[in-house]
Structure 1
Amino acid sequence: MENTLTITPAEEDERPVKQTQDTKWAANLAAARQFHAREGRLRVPRKHVEHLETEDDPAGRC
């Protein structure tokens, strides 16, 4: 069977890393701390999405 789309499989370094429960918890805690530092409260609107600031991206567009 010929591959008519000429798509190649993703390389190992291109595949997303699966998160463990520990890494998800740590990311959520970091988001809560960041929100609290900025807003002074933890009453987060239901549809709010917190973009974590990182060393690579201080604007929080990760």
Structure 2
Amino acid sequence: MNQETNINDIQAPITTAPPEVRNIIEKVLQAEKDKLYMKSPWNINDDILKIIKEEVQ
């Protein structure tokens, strides 16, 4: 199994997800990237919850 196949297998749930779910995933990933510089990322759970609530409504 080559590395490209592994990457495709890992990304499959994201690429095959409905647009709403994909949007949540992308926003959560961005929120996590925005807090990577912090030693302990404050309020990341609140940010994720807010993203999910916004998308569900």
- TM-score, length-normalised on structure 2? 0.29
Structure with greater helix percent: 2
The structure with the larger Rg is 1
**Higher RCO (CA 8 Å, separation ≥ 6 residues):** 2
